[in-house]
Amino acid sequence: MDNIEKIKAEMLDKKVWAVVGATPSESKFGYKIYKKLKDKGYEVYGINPKYNDIDGEKLYKSISDLPVKPDCVDMVVSPKVGRPVVEDIAKAGIEYVWFQPGTFDEEMLDLAESKKLRYVYYDCVLVELDK
């Protein structure tokens, strides 16, 4: 098992997740991922400063606003929006980050590396949860 597969397995075993870019818009990945994690029994916190809630559940403005420290953060935002969030993740002492396809670039991965985060990229959490 290569390192990414090992990290992916560790992350899927963790039960408290935050989804950065969670959205009430049902056609978007931020909604689908949030719902899928919840449907699979995970404790999930949505982060999106643009909205107040998803289906009546509170959305938070940032990592620092969360009521608990999540085990994993799933990124569903562009690298430009995501870079400061990676800084917040590291500051909060969160170890795991899942970059959805399209949410990272070399600079983002270098940043995650420099912060000693354990991360997955290229793989979609939706696909993994359906396995």
Domain that holds residue 103: 3-114
What is the per-residue pLDDT across 32-64, written as a single tens digit (0 to 9) for each?
A: 999 999 999 999 999 999 999 999 999 999 999
* Within-domain flag for 131: no
Check residue 3 and give its pLDDT: 87
* Within-domain flag for 76: yes
Q: How many domains does the chain have?
A: 1
* Within-domain flag for 129: no
Task: Tell me: pLDDT of 1 over 70.
Answer: no
SS (H, E, C) the chain: CCHHHHHHHHHHHCCEEEEECCCCCCCCHHHHHHHHHHHCCCEEEEECCCCCEECCEEEECCHHHCCCCCCEEEECCCHHHHHHHHHHHHHCCCCEEEECCCCCCHHHHHHHHHCCCEEECCCCHHHHHCC
Task: Tell me: pLDDT of 72 over 60.
Answer: yes
Write the CATH number for 24. 3.40.50.720
